Amino acid sequence: MKLFLFTIGFAIAISATAFPTSAAPKPLLQSGDRIAFVGNTLIERARLYGHIESALQLAAGESVENLVFRNLGWSADSVFGDSRSYFGAPQEGRDRLDKNISEVKPNVVFLCYGTGEAMSVEQGWTDENAASKTSGAGLNESLTLFIDGYQKLIDRVRNSAGADLREMVLVSPPPLENINSFLPDQSMNNENLARFRDAIRALAKKNDARFVDLFAALGGDDFDGAMAESPLTDNGLHFTEDGYQVLARELVKGLGYEESALTGTQPEAMQAFRDAIIEKNRLFFHRWRPANETYLFLFRKHEQGNNAKEIPMFDPLIAAQEKRIAEARKLVFSGKTKN
């Protein structure tokens, strides 16, 4: 499996270039864009490291300013919103996501789903009523259910975002790894993921959305079942910080951006930039997914609901952190020199 470490570190800056085609689309990101990430565990955990967001910030180029990123990922989520529903049916989770999207008002939305579904084609991976007809039926039926749910998700996101939405990007799940003999062999799961990837690509084309093939970029099409020489995950599934560095690089490349010949001369500036992003992500996470939400807003709010007034107090903290990100970004670009 052709997986290898890539140190974004403090030496690589990325600049925007046209897609290498005769009919090159416009660059994805524009000044003032609000960008939402929606997906499962892969997306949620990205907030902890900041590599994807920092790579996109740099890929956009110095002239593209005031980018705002919001991570709405939810671990173990499916296209039906099961995990977001807490105690109710999937519809509760879908309603929650609709509300979140309408609040963020994104211009660009990244969607990434399919790993959990590809790993559980025989067991059924959703509480949606339609799944009762396909649970245990196999790959084709599970894939059909997945694509149907994904299309409905796309339609809901578009409706919730409204006229502000300009672009959608469907990102394929990356391949899984075999990292030792004690963990499950991921060969069959990767075969399933390849089928899901192909279906997601077709869905992106149908919806006039961009598509990024992380599965191919990280060696999924060449997976032979061998143990990864330099693992990017800690268990074959969940990516490490080094893994997110690679994901960040391949994502911006998949969007048509290229690695630049420019190198950073101030490692401290790059570290401060990413640290500012991580702190913003921490604040925003507590804003939209506060601890003890059951007590604050749900069926036990009669006990501590008076504390719900504190949640909007995160907003000025997040706004202040966005200013720090902008300042740190300028320092990164000002520290670049040509080799």
Distance between CA atoms of residues 245 and 52, nearest Å: 7
Using the structure block, give the residue that is written with the tokens 């997976």.
Answer: 223
Per-residue pLDDT at 331? 92
CA Rg, the chain, in Å?
Answer: 20
Which pLDDT band holds residue 6 (cuts at 50, 70, 90)? very low
Distance between CA atoms of residues 214 and 248, nearest Å: 10
Give residue-wise pLDDT tens across range 36-48: 999 999 999 999 9
Give residue-wise pLDDT tens across range 292-318: 765 444 544 555 545 556 677 779 999
Q: Which of 45-49, 159-163, 242-246, 306-310 has the lowest mean pLDDT?
A: 306-310
Per-residue pLDDT at 88? 80
Distance between CA atoms of residues 281 and 303, nearest Å: 29
Per-residue pLDDT at 295? 42
Angle at 266 between CA 261 and CA 272, to 5 degrees: 115
Side-chain half-sphere exposure of 17, counting CA atoms within 13 A? 13
Q: Is pLDDT of 267 > 70?
A: yes
Q: What's the whole-model pTM score?
A: 0.89
| Domains of the chain by residue range | 14-20+29-260, 277-339
Per-residue pLDDT at 133? 53
Give residue-wise pLDDT tens across range 58-90: 999 999 999 999 999 999 999 999 999 877 888
Mean pLDDT for the chain? Answer: 86
Looking at residues 112-119, what average pLDDT do you find?
96
CATH code assigned to 14-20+29-260: 3.40.50.1110
Side-chain half-sphere exposure of 32, counting CA atoms within 13 A? 3
Q: Are 36 and 104 in contact (CB under 8 A)?
A: yes
Which H, E and C letters describe the chain, residue by residue? Answer: CCCCCCCCCCCCCEECCCCCCCCCCCCCCCCCCEEEEEECHHHHHHCCCCHHHHHHHHHCCCCCCCCEEEECCCCCCCCCCCHHHCCCCHHHHHHHHHHHHHHHCCCEEEEECCHHHHHCCCCCCCCCHHHHHCCCCCHHHHHHHHHHHHHHHHHHHHHHHHHHCCEEEEECCCCCCCCCCCCCCCHHHHHHHHHHHHHHHHHHHHCCCEEECHHHHCCHHHCCCCCCCCCCECCCCCECHHHHHHHHHHHHHHCCCEECCEEECCHHHHHHHHHHHHHHHHHHHHHHCCCCHHHHCCCCHHHHHHHHHHHHHHHHHHHHHHHHHHHHHHHHHHCEEEC
Q: Which of 30-39, 76-85, 282-291 has the lowest mean pLDDT?
A: 282-291
Per-residue pLDDT at 165? 98
